[in-house]
Amino acid sequence: MSSSELEVQKAADGQQEQQVPPGVEITGSKEPEEDTNAHTKEERDFAAAEQYKNQGNEMLKTKEFSKAIDMYSKAIELHPNNAIYYANRSLAHLRQESFGFALQDGVSAVKADPAYLKGYYRRAAAHMSLGKFKQALCDFEFVAKCRPNDKDAKLKFTECNKIVKMRAFERAIAVDKPEKTLSEMYSDMENITIEDDYKGPQLEDGKVTLKFMKELMEHYKAQKRLHRKFAYKILCEIDTYMRAQPSLVDITVPDEEKFTICGDIHGQFYDLMNIFEINGLPSEKNPYLFNGDFVDRGSFSVECIFTLFGFKLLYPNHFFLSRGNHESINMNQMYGFTGEVTAKYTSAMADIFTQVFNWLPLCHCINQKILVMHGGLFSSENVTLDNIRRIERNCQPPEEGLMCELLWSDPQQWMGLGQSKRGVGIQFGPDITETFCKNNNLDYIIRSHEVKDMGYEVAHNGQCITVFSAPNYCDTMGNMGAFITITGNNLKPNYKSFEAVPHPDVKPMAYANSLMNWLA
């Protein structure tokens, strides 16, 4: 084990050498004061801070990340110049995917002690998670230079450098040209040969049928792959369909009919199957909306996305899909989907998914009263539904603006707008939600994007509901999943929580970039 790897391993255990604050002497060399048993205030604060840090470390081990953050914050209040406390809190923020806060603490750790190399690792991890690879490379390079004989440090620098060079190459060869549909690009698809030993599901006259979908799900449960010819055909059909859809899709649910809204799935195929087991297969009488983040992290993302795309083609007016922040090339390359598609099919298919994801609608409005988006609301005042309808979505998510905030923003408890804990988008308070709903004649909004213990959370006086449908997220979080049902004549949300089900022994992030596996 390399020295830096050992250092990283020690972080959560609190085994790093304690830093004695300036002016504190605990060796007894100082002349005793009148009370020889009395400690200076600095010594008492440092001892108390160490206790909070140790408690935080224990909570980090048991994945109680919010409580760990509270403990580290108390330690920092008592002793604000300790790099270890910032670095450990940064790690807890990373585990909660609060990449913006993780970055702030990484910066603070480096500022508190420029010689503390773990601070550079934390800052690099946050930059990587935000897709800022050049900034991460600077930190990896610094550590590698400080430890020229450390193989682990050199490996991290080399891997990050590969990503930076690959992205520069992709930009260099990119040319402006009229975009073709996938059907135009793959006009020879019909000539793909189906091998004699393929026994899986087949499209009927090139179309998805209910029989095909049932066979496909059983095929996937048995860990088998859909033939590439049918996979390409589904992608071509979904590309053609999505191009014709608006950025905001209006949905009408008839009076007595049920409608189901699901949150993040994140490649957890067997939990997706459990949703259908509990709530019934999609049909014209059992419509669904899946609210983004279908892929990444979970290692059955290919199975999830072809199942969802298949049902969309089978029931185009009763099965809906919204784009999430993970339906993007940065996220896919880091968190596993690109690697999974390449492993199960080809890198060319991974590129196709990037094009298809660009055309996914950004949000849906149900019966003119419920707006459903993946992330949340906006930094701009007086945003209307028509503003959303006019968004040009055929692109990678920008770092600011309406499209970015629809995919990335989060609610907060306090009033007004706040800085995003993720480093992208904003945080919005109850007053922001109330004003938006009033201006657009909405009852409430539904969003996803965040793990919740019960799979859902009701906030902002009932006007902001979060739903998350990936139980025991990444096999580590211990949360339940949930989905929401409404009826057309009763838009009051009903919640159903469910636990994770067993899946084959393939760990989450199995196909992720090697650096992201280290970060995870």
Identify the domain boundary among 120, 141, 174: 174
The model's confidence at residue 103, banded by pLDDT at 50, 70 and 90, is very high
Give the contacts of 220 (CB within 8 A, at least 6 positions apart).
Answer: 226, 269, 300, 303, 306, 307
Residues 212 and 279 in one domain: yes
Structural domain range at position 112: 41-174
Same domain, 65 and 187: no
Domain's final residue, options 142, 174, 206: 174
CATH number of the domain enclosing 78: 1.25.40.10
Quick one: 509 and 421 in the same domain? yes
Q: Which residues contact 280 (CB under 8 A, 6 or more apart)?
A: 286
Residue 202 placed within a domain: yes
Q: Residue 262 forms beta bridges with which residues?
A: 290, 483
> Could you tell me if residue 29 is inside a domain?
no
169 and 198 housed in the same domain? no
Residues of the chain above pLDDT 70, percent: 89
pLDDT band at residue 517 under the 50/70/90 scheme: low
Whether the pLDDT of residue 172 is over 70: the answer is: yes
Indicate if 54 and 99 belong to the same structural domain.
yes
Q: Are residues 155 and 226 in the same domain?
A: no
At 89, which amino acid appears? Answer: R
- Residues annotated as catalytic are 326
Question: Of 155, 174, 193, which residue is a domain's last?
Answer: 174
Out of 45-54, 166-175, 335-344, 362-371, which region has the weakest mean confidence (pLDDT)? 166-175
Beta bridge partners of 264: 468
Q: What is the CATH number of the domain that holds 203?
A: 3.60.21.10
Residue 322 falls within a domain, yes or no? yes
Looking at the structure, tell me whether residues 154 and 214 fall in a common domain. Answer: no
Does residue 30 lie in a domain region? no
Per the CB < 8 A criterion, the answer to whether 108 and 402 are in contact is no
Q: How many domains does the chain have?
A: 2
pLDDT band at 179; cut points 50, 70, 90: low
Q: Which two structure tokens, joined as six digits, stand for 119? A: 């601070």
Q: Tell me: do 220 and 164 sit in the same domain.
A: no
Is 200 found in the same domain as 166? no
Under DSSP, the state recorded for 86 is H
**pTM of the full predicted structure?**
0.86
More confident residue, 166 or 15: 166
Q: What is the arithmetic mean of pLDDT over 193-202? A: 92
Does residue 157 belong to any structural domain of this protein? yes
In this structure, the answer to whether residues 221 and 145 fall within a common structural domain is: no
Q: Do 156 and 276 lie in a common domain?
A: no
State both tokens at 98: 């609060």
Residue 16 lies in a domain: no
* Residue 86 buriedness (CB in 10 A; 0-12 / 13-18 / 19+): buried
What was the pLDDT predicted at 1?
46
User: pLDDT at residue 36 above 90?
Assistant: no
495 has which bridge partners?
484
Identify whether 63 is part of a domain.
yes
Task: Please determine, for residue 520, whether its predicted confidence score (pLDDT) is greater than 70.
Answer: no
Mean of all residue pLDDT scores within the chain: 90
* pLDDT in the model for residue 497: 98
pLDDT at residue 12, as a whole number: 43
Please report whether residue 18 resides in a domain: no
Contact 331, 499 (CB under 8 A): no
For residues 335 and 393, state if they share a domain: yes
Backbone angles phi, psi at 260, to 5 degrees: -115, 135
pLDDT in tens, 144-161: 999 999 888 888 898 889
CA distance 164 to 145: 18
